[in-house]
Chain A
């Protein structure tokens, strides 16, 4: 089976600073892949290159058979980029719910505006997805009236409503108070359980350990190690992975996880 995402020799420069160095990566359908690494390792940039929120400098990105290249003019491949965005759902660190729309309207917005679905059908899809993330009870609230964890769950529902082939999570729990992280991770785990293809940039080692099929370690723009959670967490080969894992392990002893 061909991979749903295939990245080949991806480079990304911010000015003169190279933040991604020759990244090649494949993600298969129904895989849950976590990208870990220190802040500034290029994890988020890599994720954002996939749906072109960042423009890659060099290299190719193939999503669901649609191939776009870094360095080409955005205008030339605008339609491809648009199609890729339709097939990928994204969840942001800062939720980015639309503040002028209710929870339900937020989730309906994609189907109605982008897919030109009629309102009744869109509402059905929106309600189904809100149900899925356990937020149907707040469907008529506005985003400023719900907690961070609830906002993120709504944001997940908003992405799911477009029925993407793959979900991209950009540090979905990093902006949350510690007591709110659990509810979001629980939703993500249930998605993983249902066979959703997920690419997750995260600092939550526990989640990576439990939910991922594969863990990717990045360090200073390079992909330094990848493997199953057992391989990466129990038998790390790279020194940077070891440092990450060590820190996680030492945290684990003082903070028991449930």
Chain B
């Protein structure tokens, strides 16, 4: 009896065998991780499954959640997903523009501009995001500026993330070597052309993957905007129905699942982007 796989194995070189072993080991590890994840997920589900357990004379139930409540309210909560994504997208756009300006400003040799940028970053990083959101929503009306909750939120999130992201952009700008700048100047570019054509494109390429990361973080921080009470995003909806019917447990779990799924989806795209950028034309 001939065994085809045996003859194939016999012709394989040692390098092939070692490579296959490494591939198998990697795959085994991935499978192990996936199974463990599944077990942990199942355990979490079990915790909230209101299962009755009897150990000898001792009987207890795991946590009970009201499925009917969730089914009833899931459309209401879910419709906040798009608002959450919308707020995050607007804010990240605003933050990106601010961050780029602040990072460029820190290259300025004109003291007021440099000072303005460091001042902004210091002020924003030195105060809580929660406070900033309330400031725009609650404190500004006192001086006659009344912003709708959504815009107060976007303004606060944008300003806040802009300050943090300016550090990313600054690192991006300094990742472009001196030689690149010199080459641009030597062919006769003005400093402005040099920034626009040579430095910023390369800095952006460096900064795009971490910006994706910031977006994923912002998806979750956007929940703070619900505190204004006027932005009907995911968190606001969950607390509203939860409080009204004293079903906070179910409502928050539902919102948490939505946040988690969003984060997973965007993290996936973000890591794909990162992989693509890293093998780009560097």
Where the two chains meet, the residues of A that have a C-beta atom closer than 8 Å to any C-beta of B are 51, 53, 82, 85-86, 88-90, 92, 94, 96-100, 109-110, 113-115, 142-145, 155, 158-159, 162
Contact = CB atoms under 8 A, between A and B. Distances in A.
28 contacts: A53-B182, A53-B186, A82-B190, A85-B185, A85-B186, A88-B186, A89-B186, A90-B182, A90-B183, A92-B179, A92-B186, A94-B179, A96-B180, A96-B182, A96-B183, A98-B180, A98-B183, A99-B202, A99-B281, A100-B281, A109-B187, A110-B187, A114-B189, A114-B193, A142-B281, A144-B281, A145-B281, A162-B188
The interface residues of chain B, by DSSP majority, are classed as helix
A89 B185 CA distance: 10
Contacts of A115: 188
A86 B185 CA distance: 9
Contacts of B27: none
B198 interface: yes
A113 B197 contact: yes
B282 interface: yes
Nearest to A161: B187
B193 A143 contact: no
A113 B182 contact: no
Which 7 residue pairs of A and B lie closest in terms of their CB atoms, listed nearest first?
Answer: A96-B183, A142-B281, A110-B187, A90-B186, A96-B179, A86-B188, A114-B188
Nearest to B179: A96
A155 B282 CA distance: 16
Contacts of A143: 281
A98 B182 CA distance: 11
Contacts of B193: 113-114
Given A100-B202, A113-B193, A144-B282, A159 B187 contact: yes
Contacts of A86: 188
A85 B179 contact: no
A178 B99 CA distance: 44
B205 interface: yes
B182 A92 contact: yes
B229 interface: no
A85 B281 contact: no
B201 interface: yes
A82 B188 contact: yes
A51 B182 CA distance: 10
Contact of A109 (B179, B185, B197, B281): B197
Nearest to B186: A90
A182 to B, nearest CB: 24
Interface centre among A85, A86, A158 (most CB of B within 10 A): A85
Interface centre among B183, B187, B201 (most CB of A within 10 A): B187
